[in-house]
Chain A
Amino acid sequence: MPDDDYDQFVTERLDRLLRYATALTCDKHLAQDIVQDVLLRARQRWARIGAVDVPYLYVKRMVTNEYLSWRRRRAARDVSSTHVSLDDLAPAVADPAIRHAERDAMRARIAVLPRKQRAALVLRYYEDSTDAEIAEVLGCTEGTVRSHISRALHKLRVNEKTPSEVLR
């Protein structure tokens, strides 16, 4: 039964999809909207999607595309301004863990990367995808994937020394 199959997929994969989408969007509410939207659409076409080799990859691609082309509703809020929690991310005065502060500063820097670069980064470092898989999801060549990632890495390194005050 496609229905049971779909339900099982959602039960097993929803958490992972939400986490992926949150890492992608840096906005948990937008991530929820996108994932819900995509899953409702996927259900209509489950007979087809459920038949592909790895339905998760297919749905992940839908989520990624939805994000990359996202222009409706919460839409055009620019990525940089979407990340409302920049203030929250600044290291707390009394934070004892320097690593923690570094990590959060990195989060803020990642949040202002161009969408495709961030998507490539999340796919590599969160989903552990190969370049070929990333190319498939983003609909580009592996060369473009590598270029997205190297640009992103470069930018993150250059900005590493940027004090968080500048980001505010």
Chain B
Amino acid sequence: MTDHEALIREAIAAEADQAVDHRAVLAELRRKRSRRRPIALFAAATLTVAAAAVAVIVPLAVDRTASAPPAKQVAPASNARTVLLIGTDGGGNTDSIVLVRIAADTPVSAVWLPRDALVDLPGVGVDRLNSAYARGREVGGGQAGAEALARAVESLTGVAVDHHAEIDVAGVAALSDVVGGVDVCLRKPARDHLSGVDLPAGRILLGGQQALAFLRQRNGLPNGDLDRVMRQQVFLRALAAKVVGAQDPALVARVVEAARSTVRTDPGLELLEFAQRITPTMRTAIIPLGAEVDVENGTGPVRGHAVDPAAVRAFAAGFFADGAADTPTGGFTEPPAATQTQSPGEQESERGCVS
């Protein structure tokens, strides 16, 4: 050990000595923890079912597997509902924000709103979209967070949000095991310490922890969060394809049961009631996005994707128009093609591979 190194060692130790008192932090941790663990997480699951998986899969599966769907004339086309799906990491961080429109005789339409889209939040200024959730949650828990995010999404898209549902991404990943694995295709091998992902390139059967890692990885991807969005879309479509392809009502029941425990929704959301009448196709898109920029918002610089509210509103109006079933245009499509319409069961071609 040279004197130079000894001095460095002392300097670093002196820096470490500046640390805040751990007892205060311990108290803070305990306080946050008790607030962050609402019992509702489990209790509310009995209310209804609405995971992205379910919103997508159940309609598809029921349509294909039930030879004679029960005649249930409760849902005319105008009775469309818009559900905000909030994918969380189980610890209160919002990983994905998806606005889903479900209507009878119309494809399920789902548009992803990147969590780092920069929006103007009332009383806050410009910040990332998912910060609305975090702020609401700070004040009044998960339900308040979801409602605050719903308001922010409404004001950004101009689309009224009827219901919201919070989904633990880990639970969605677990669905892959229920169906015996989900097929995806990777352009390059994926390895990342943070998410624990370790997958080869090419077509793979995803299950268990690797499914979760696949859905969560953001670091090390060329387009970060946007690549993660693509992965979620690909995963959900592949999951739906698997369920539909199985032609097995018992499998559907198991998927629904598994999804039930991973979702909590606002009171009053019941999707199953008109699930039978939904067309078995799914349209996915990402809202129009600008470049990644840094903005100043009073509390410090924030980095995110610039968003033109007028463009987003115009896109959402077209995408969610009654009876819209065409391939969406105008959303974010850079690279690779982020928007496509696909029938469940259809084979993913090589171009369906993701980063």
Contact = CB atoms under 8 A, between A and B. Distances in A.
Interface in A128-168: 139, 153, 156-157, 160
B87 to A, nearest CB: 14
B14 A107 contact: yes
A156 B16 contact: no
A161 B90 CA distance: 50
Nearest to B28: A36
Interface string B27-40: 01100110010000
Interface in A40-90: 40-41, 43-45, 61-62, 65, 69, 71-77
Given A103-B11, A106-B8, A110-B8, A40 B36 contact: yes
Interface string B110-129: 00000000000000000010
SS class of chain A's interface: helix, strand, loop or mixed? helix
Contacts of B326: none
Interface stretch (B171-179, B270-278, B298-306, B328-336): B298-306
B9 A10 contact: no
B7 interface: yes
Nearest to A11: B26
Nearest to A118: B12
A26 B11 CA distance: 11
> Which bucket holds chain B's interface residue count?
35 or more
Given A18-B19, A23-B16, A125 B26 contact: no
A77 B294 CA distance: 12
5 contacts: A41-B93, A44-B89, A65-B194, A111-B15, A156-B8
Interface of A: 10-11, 14-15, 18-23, 26, 28-29, 31-32, 35-36, 39-41, 43-45, 61-62, 65, 69, 71-77, 102-104, 106-107, 110-111, 121-122, 125-126, 139, 153, 156-157, 160
Interface of B: 4-5, 7-20, 22, 25-26, 28-29, 32-33, 36, 89-93, 128, 193-194, 219, 294, 299-303
